[in-house]
Amino acid sequence: MAQFVSVPPLSPLSARLPEGGASVPPAAEAPAPGDLPTWDLGDLYTGPDDPRLTDDLDAAARAADAFREGHVERVGALSGADLGKAVAEFERISETLYRVMSYAQLLHAGDQTDADIGRFYQGVQERVTDISARMLFFTLELNQLDDDALAGRMEAPEAGHYASWIRDLRVFRDHQLPEAMERLLHEKDVAGRSAWVRLFDETLAHLRFDIDGRPHTMTEALDQLSDRDRSRRETAARAIGAGLNANSRLFAHITNTLAKDKQIEDQWRNYAHPMAPRNLANQVEDAVVDALVTAVRESYAETSHRYYTMKAKWFGLDTLATWDRNAPLPDAEDRRFSWDEARGVVLDAYGAFSPRLADLGRRFFDNAWIDVPPRPGKASGAFAHPTVPSAHPYLLLNFMGRTRDVMTLAHELGHGVHQLLAAPKGVLMADTPLTLAETASVFGEMLTFRAMLDAETDPRRRRTMLVGKVEDMLNTVVRQIAFHEFERRVHTERRDGALSEERLNTLWMDVQRESLGPAFDFDDGYRVFWAYIPHFVHTPFYVYAYAFGDCLVNSLYAVHQSGTVPNFQDAYLEMLAAGGTLRHRDLLAPFGLDAGDPGFWRRGLDVLKGFIDELEQVA
């Protein structure tokens, strides 16, 4: 979809990768779905046939027509006060469209195999695209104003209120196309990129993996990769590999089509490299991202390679198989958390840091804002969707009771709290760049982990917890940068022609060998595991934001522990409440941090290295 008028992304904010759990195996069966809460989308609409939904779309269409009639080819002549009023009307109409689209996305995420829901989702997407296309001129004409003319208008408080949104809009100035071309791209998206994304999602949702004679969903199969029994892990891994391989031609075609689509648009928009639009949207300089990627890749030997070599020794193996990556330790204590236990652990950790943080988090449990149980057809992984400021966020989980599921709850709840705090900024300015959007989520995980670790006195259980944290950090930092490198290579090579399934497999294995190291013996089935990663399809170059957030939070948490920033909790909540109004340098300045400092990322990685050092000592 064209970048100047947007509806909520198909992949909701903060989508967390579906992975095998952390290194704590099950003691009992996962919580029964009937015992777990589901969300109530009635705060948006009561159902696809809700008359309010139809009325909202009709009203938005009329308002968009009136907005166009009143402002097209006249934005440059607006006074500062009138420009501010125009942006406010643009925001009001956009919020209505966001509300409708959010409802359709959440309904579809709840069951991606229901044909009726699929048709409803497609229909809403087409209608919203048609309406928003009528307002596309507005952001384009805004960007045509020269800096001096705009500066004068921004002195009016009505326009000045939207200064940060206009600032961020204008970073795309040099990359916008004439309105007719922008509108064509925008309207064709529903039959182009969005259609391919939906095909990917629904294909994954329909896949079943034969394990021990019973069909398993992707969520169930991935969960078994953390089983205590190595043979069960192997069975699951081979089933996943076989299932993905059977559909690899389709997944390769989707990947090639979307990469080519991006290449064409990037060329027309004159972007220097495939990551450029994502970096601009994230409000982060190319040099900062390059420094992050370089620091993580240079750390492989001291982080992932060292840790997995140690893990192989714990298992009495010369090398690990891919299905051992998230395996529980041989002497790990069996543990499954009930939903009530998980909720208590996370809210207690949040409350120990800030009672207000816990109060905000508690709202998600006191209301039906979380969809918890795994079920056939439901989107795998986890996410937090902000919806619109006039409503509230929703969280989607696939809770299996593992320690990693508790950390996923802490992660997504962090996003949800962040979105609540930023909501007063309004629909145009509440949204946070992906790099900073991961701050609250990873910080919530760190609070929860530290609370659990500090409360544990048994050395064996403490080691198990440290192992779980290290593996989560490796999945968040090392694995995501490896994913980023895979994407970079795919998009670079795609410029010279379509990549075969085998070439995609080769690129995947190259980055996996580089990142995971010599401790692994890679089986053939693992070669096609790139095919299930939703971020590659939904949001190209999303994944480095996880590593950005993890390293940033490590530094931020160190400042908290040092006590050098008075009223740290208040400053932290104020940072979250800023939404998208401030850049990363301004947000981090009160904490004495600068992501542009070459040493910033190394300091963040030192926390991971320190945990591995501790494991070496206790081993």
| SS3 labels along 481-500 | HHHHHHHHHHHHHHCCCCCC
Residue type, 298: E
pLDDT recorded at residue 19: 60
Q: 321 - beta bridge partners?
A: 521
Which residue, 169, 154, 164, is CA-closest to 83? Answer: 154
Q: Among residues 341, 111, 83, 295, which one has the least CA distance to residue 217?
A: 111
Give pLDDT, residue 3.
39
pTM: 0.88
Q: Is the pLDDT of residue 25 over 70?
A: no
**With bands split at pLDDT 50, 70 and 90, how would you rate the model's confidence at 34?**
low
Q: Which of 77-91, 198-212, 274-288, 448-462 has the lowest mean pLDDT?
A: 448-462
> Does residue 458 register a pLDDT over 70?
yes
pLDDT at res. 17: 57
**Sorting pLDDT into bands at 50, 70 and 90, what band is 317?**
very high
Q: Top-level CATH class of 47-197?
A: mainly alpha
Instruction: Pull the structure tokens for residue 482.
Output: 């490896």
CA-based nearest residue to 389, from 192, 60, 102: 102
Section 584-592 average pLDDT = 92
> Mean pLDDT over all residues of the chain?
92
Q: Per-residue confidence at 6, pLDDT binned at 50, 70, 90?
A: very low
- How is the chain split into domains, by residue range? 47-197
Band (39; pLDDT cuts 50, 70, 90) = very high
Instruction: Report the share of the chain in percent with pLDDT over 90.
Output: 85
Alpha-carbon distance 329 to 28, whole Å?
17
Judge whether residue 33 has pLDDT over 80: no
pLDDT at 331: 80
pLDDT reading at 521 higher than 50: yes
Report the percent of the chain where pLDDT is more than 70. Answer: 94
The backbone region for 283, taken as left when phi is positive above 0, alpha when psi lies in -120 to 50, beta otherwise, is: left
